[in-house]
Amino acid sequence: MYWSVKWTSAAWAPTVLALIMLLMAFGGPVWDWSKWSGGSGLSPTVRSASFAESQAVTAFLWATIGAALSSLAVPRTQEIVRTGDTWSPSRKISIAIVTTATISLIGFLLGQGPSIVRKPVYGEFDGNAFILRVFWPSGLIVGLICLALIAVEKNRRLRLLMLAVAALWFLATTVEGSRTAVAFPIVGAMLIIHHEISRRRLHLPMIAAAFTLLATAVVVFSISLLSRSIPHGILNLPNVVGVTLADARASTDSYLYPLKQLASSVFVSFPIAEQSATYEVGLDVLVANANALPGTAQPAELERYWPYEWVPLSFAGTWFDAAGWIGQFLLFGAIGWMSGKTAHNLQRSQFQTLWFVPIYTAAMIGALSAQYSSRMVWRLVSIAAFLFFVSFLLRRTRQWEGLHNGDQGKGPPEVPDDGARSGHSGRLTSSRRQLAGVDRT
């Protein structure tokens, strides 16, 4: 994977997917360490199997191998993606992203309805269910893209607008009680760290800001966890925050308590995948859930960790059980290659600044497949497939790239003009040849 990323930055997408699967394969000891914190919906009496005998380890490792090898198949792109002080994304692209993120946020709030203000029961909403499905989780991805573009946007007003929209998305997911809210401070911290490393400097205020954001992610996770048992929403947020901090101070683990909750919530995927790999969910059920059209989902009860009816089975485990190691290898290899190829195509398009979007989708597919059932995972795969096909429509041709990089030899053959045919000496100029080549492309 290291050599793949060195070869082309487009390989980051399958690499991130492989790293997530590899991390989950070694999650057993972390689950045993953190399970008594109550951070997951699974009983702490459930123990993780030993590494040598675990079916979950086998399932995650085959997914890792498939995604890792797919990174080797991602073609290299000419270095036309520029970063640093001399480059910024197109103003039209920035405005389009901000507008889409804003519309998605409005759609998400309309789908939630008035319950977003004061929500007595977790998961309850009284808005339009269809609108909510349209803008969730796709709107979350656009919100994270908006946050990431802050790092390269040079227009101050657009940068502040992006920050405001991302902050509103963060607030909306927090008051809704969604664990995905932790993605915003984590991405913010990663952007700060990347900025400092790229400039080869370490400013203490910036490093402190990055660690503050990481600590915020841990606290926000505890808030989302507590929201499942007490009234929440915008008006109840101060009370939820106060109870969360009070519980942390009262715990014997003190402020390590929220970290254990976060760890148990993430690595509960290990015992869930262990059960999923032996649950014998039919391949027909998993394939049928790949149909993204409304009303085509199979009964959710088929993918539940009984007797914990609120705990879904892990798609990584059920797919491994149904399709075997070859199916696991091929599926995650295909997802990894598709994400890497999408990034490669975007790097060759006029939307170069969005080449990192497949990294987001690959990371979300990896995280959800480790802990959620097939329907949710296939929805993210559908989004990734849509981006994959669109990227082929957006990419520039090799002839355009040759002209862009000053290589005129790759353009189409010169066609003599009427003057040349009649014996006159008039010829196309070099600039007109380039323009002619671009028009034909």
40, pLDDT greater than 60: yes
pLDDT, tens digit, for every residue of 242-279? Answer: 888 887 777 666 667 778 888 888 899 999 999 999 88
**Beta strand pairing status for 304-305 and 308-312?**
antiparallel
pLDDT, tens digit, for every residue of 159-178? Answer: 899 999 999 999 999 988 88
pLDDT at 254: 63
Q: Which neighbouring-strand residues pair with 232?
A: 119
The residue ranking higher by pLDDT, 208 or 257, is 208
Mean pLDDT of 45-70: 92
Mean pLDDT of 312-337: 95
pLDDT at 242: 87
Q: What proportion of the chain, given as a percentage, has pLDDT over 70?
A: 85
Distance, CA of 51 to CA of 45 (rounded, Å): 18
Entry pTM: 0.74
pLDDT at 84: 43
Name the token pair of 69: 């090898």
Tell me the CA distances in angstroms from 350 to 178, 383, 393, one per residue in order. Answer: 34, 21, 11
Locate all alpha helices (DSSP H) within 113-155, ordered by sequence: 129-135, 138-148
**Cα angle 385, 387, 392; round to 5:** 100
Question: Is the C-alpha dihedral spanning 72, 74, 76, 80 positive or negative?
Answer: negative
431, pLDDT greater than 70: no
Helix, coil or strand: residue 119: strand
Q: Is 201 exposed, middle or buried (0-12, 13-18, 19+ CB in 10 A)?
A: exposed
